[in-house]
Amino acid sequence: MKSNTKKFEISRRTAIQSVLGVAGMGIMALPDSSYATGVGHKLAASTKEQIKGNGEVKITKLETFLVKPRWIFLKIHTNVGIFGLGEPLLEGRALTIQTAIKEIEPYLIGKDPRNVVHHWQAIYRHAFYRGGPILTSALSGIDQALWDIKGKLLNVPVYELLGGPTRDRVRVYGRASTPEQMKQQKAAGFTVIKTGVAKITHANIVENPRFIKYAIDNFASLRDAGGDDMDIGIDFHGAISPQTAKILIKELEVYQPMFIEEPCQCQNVDVMVDIAKGTHIPIATGERIFTKWGFREILEKGAASIIQPDLCHAGGITEGRNIAGMAEAYYVPIAPHNPMGPISLAVGLQLAASIPNFLVQEQVTLGEGYLKNPFKLQKDGTVLIPKGPGLGVELDEALMADKIGHDWKNPETYNSLDGSVVDW
């Protein structure tokens, strides 16, 4: 028995040493197909034929163009004739984002586009000053386009690459600020609407009863027009002071909004925590928060019970998936922010299709006039998950010909009494 035991121990030790030796050899030298070399992986014969017989795929060019009303579309081209689409938007800073992408382009040229997460890490971490809206917005669009390319090369939707669908349709919401608009949106099929705080003028730091009554009466009229079966979110846009926000929320509670979005500036996390603890209405935030690191404090402190990462700002599909995973650990659902174009919507649908904790998707266009096959609002207020490869959308460049170019700028708002700057 002792002899057999000794032989087993020697055999086990030899096997472990053998495995460690192989692993060590792998660490010492980068293979030709390493992510860092830019050469890329060899493809199976069937896949080679699919991409015109070329087993190597390389990025050849990054192309951006401004699209009305205020968007940027990105095309990442490859040597095999396949390109990916993205929306690297930063509202009011279009030329800045175009420049940022141009600065990133030299890193990507010649690289294999399929190494999506590796490229995300390189672009983000090789910048000494990490994060912020410029870098992460440029990176978001690039990440979207790389996932689009990868899906097209493999002939599957992006959500299949992320583990397969968790749902077959996605609830989307429209917008309304008047009872007439509410009725129109409900007739169109929407079951969720977002509105804003109705104001006679801008909001002061401390507001009077007239301001409060005007805002509450407007929301009440929307509730009446939409009925009790309509979910209505209300966006404070971070432009209401915490003092006034608390009063508004208290008065709104009887009408049961679906959520209160950005009740104060999102960087004011501890105040948002205080607001969240003072109401049973869900607090939502996230459109101006970037990457998983930005959302960590929100989740840890319980500042919001719905988070709204913008996949054109927060880090694209790669980072959106990470943020959703973090949020799931806190039992928090995701409602992606998206007042952008149809590529952004397609990205949101791919994420929604691949995570369990999805709530609702914002949209302002289903793609009419931009896509060859626009999305369609279903009778139940949803949009079906696209089945095509990659992001599942194709631009209609003929229809877009009169939409190329814009000089959209952020509104400049001032106090009508003394001319001081106010939030919009």
Q: Which residues are catalytic?
A: 237, 337
Rounded Cα–Cα distance for residues 131 and 315 (Å): 9
Write down how long the chain is: 424
Rounded Cα–Cα distance for residues 419 and 194 (Å): 30
389 strand-pairing partners:
none
Amino acid, res. 81:
G
Q: How far apart are the first and last CA of the chain?
A: 82
CA 242 distance to own-chain centroid: 27
**Coil vs helix vs strand at 404:** strand
Q: Return the structure tokens found at 349.
A: 């649908």
Q: Return the structure tokens found at 181.
A: 């608009």
Rounded Cα–Cα distance for residues 77 and 61 (Å): 5
Rounded Cα–Cα distance for residues 386 and 376 (Å): 11
Rounded Cα–Cα distance for residues 221 and 4 (Å): 85
Degrees, nearest 5: CA angle 217-222-227: 125
Q: How many CA atoms lie within 13 A of 291 on its CB side?
A: 15
Contacts of 316 (CB under 8 A, 6+ apart): 86, 120, 139, 140, 141, 142, 143, 144, 147, 347
**What DSSP string describes 161-211?**
HTTS-S-SEEEEEEE-SSHHHHHHHHHHT-SEEEEE---SSPPPSS--HHH
